[in-house]
Amino acid sequence: MSVKSLIINPGSTSTKIGVFEDETLLFEETLRHSTEEIAQYASIVDQKDFRKQIILDLLKEKDFDIHSLQVIVGRGGMLKPIPGGTYAVSDELLADLKVGVQGQHASNLGGILAREIADSIGVPSYIVDPVVVDELMPISRYSGVPELPRTSVFHALNQKAVAKRYAKEQGAAYESLNLIVVHMGGGVSVGAHEQGRVVDVFNALDGDGAFSPERAGGVPSGALIKMCFSGQYTEKEVYKKFVGAGGFNAYSGTNDMRDVEKMVQNGDEKAAEVREAFIMQVAKDIGSMACVLKGKIDQIIITGGIAYDKVVVAGLQERAGFIAPITVYPGEDELLALAQGALRVMNGEEKAMVY
Ligand SMILES: Nc1ncnc2c1ncn2[C@@H]1O[C@H](COP(=O)(O)OP(=O)(O)O)[C@@H](O)[C@H]1O
Ligand SMILES: CCCC(=O)OP(=O)(O)O
- Judgement on whether residues 168 and 279 belong to the same structural domain of the protein: yes
Same domain, 43 and 123: yes
**Ligand 1 atom showing the smallest separation from residue 309 Cα:** 4
Strand order in the sheet with 326-330: 197-201, 188-194, 178-184, 299-304, 326-330
Does 309 contact ligand 1 (Cβ within 6 A)? yes
On whether residue 61 sits in a domain, the answer given is yes
Per-residue pLDDT, 85:
93
Query: What's residue 354's pLDDT?
Result: 94
Residues near ligand 2 (Cβ within 6 A): 11-12, 105, 107, 131, 153-155, 185-187, 204-205
**Quick one: 67 and 207 in the same domain?**
no
Alpha-carbon span 109 to 71, nearest angstrom: 17
Mutate to test the pocket of ligand 1, among 51, 257, 311, 338 (most ligand atoms within 8 A of CB): 257
Q: Is residue 84 part of a domain?
A: yes
With H, G, I as helix, E, B as strand and everything else as coil, classify residue 187.
Answer: coil
Ligand 2 atom nearest residue 154's Cα? 2
354 lies in some domain: no
Whether residue 319 is found in the same domain as residue 199: yes
Ligand nearest to the CA of 258: 1
**Cα(131) to centroid(ligand 2), Å:** 8
- CA–CA dist 235, 83 (Å, integer): 31
Per-residue pLDDT of the chain (355 residues; tens, 9 = 90+): 899 999 999 998 899 999 999 999 999 999 999 889 988 998 999 999 999 999 999 999 999 999 999 999 999 999 999 999 999 999 999 999 999 999 999 999 999 999 999 999 999 999 999 999 999 999 999 999 999 999 999 999 999 999 999 999 999 999 999 999 999 999 999 999 999 999 999 999 999 999 999 999 999 999 999 999 999 999 999 999 999 999 999 999 999 999 999 999 999 999 999 999 999 999 999 999 999 999 999 999 999 999 999 999 999 999 999 999 999 999 988 999 999 999 999 999 999 999 9
148-200-301 Cα angle (round to 5): 140
- In the chain, count of helices (H) and strands (E)? 12, 11
34 occurs within a structural domain: yes
pTM of the model: 0.95
pLDDT in the model for residue 16: 97
**pLDDT (0 to 100) of residue 29:** 97
**Is residue 331 within a helix (H) or strand (E), and if so which, with residue range?**
none
Q: Is there a single domain that holds both residue 292 and residue 262?
A: yes
The domain in which residue 261 lies consists of 158-330
Query: What ligand 2 atom has the least distance to the C-alpha of 183?
Result: 8
Question: Do 231 and 342 fall within a single domain?
Answer: no
- Residue 339 shares a structural domain with residue 312: no
Tell me the residue length of the chain. 355
**Whose Cα sits closest to atom 2 in ligand 1?**
308
State if residue 107 touches ligand 1 by the CB under 6 angstroms criterion: no
What spacing in Å lies between the alpha carbon of 63 and ligand 2's midpoint?
Answer: 31
Number of domains in the chain: 2
- Give residue 201's pLDDT: 98
ipTM score above 0.95? yes
> Has residue 355 been placed in a domain?
no
Question: Is residue 72 in a domain?
Answer: yes
Q: What pLDDT is attached to residue 1?
A: 84
State in Å: Cα 144 to ligand 2 middle: 25
Nearest CA to ligand 2 atom 1: 205
Clarify whether residues 228 and 341 are in a common domain.
no
Coil/strand/helix, residue 84: coil
For residue 86, the CA-to-ligand 1 centroid distance in Å is: 26
Are 302 and 164 in a shared domain? yes
Residues 220 and 310 in one domain: yes
200 and 316 belong to one structural domain: yes
CATH code for the domain of 70: 3.30.420.40
Q: What is the structure's pLDDT at 75?
A: 96
- H helices of the chain, in order, are 35-39, 48-61, 91-99, 108-121, 156-170, 221-228, 235-242, 248-252, 257-265, 269-292, 310-320, 334-346
Q: Is residue 69 part of a domain?
A: yes
C-alpha to C-alpha distance for 44 and 36, rounded to whole angstroms: 14
Question: Residue 140: inside a domain, yes or no?
Answer: no
Pair (101, 240) in one structural domain: no
For ligand 1, is residue 86 a contact (CB within 6 Å)?
no
Output the CA 278–ligand 1 centroid distance in Å.
Answer: 14
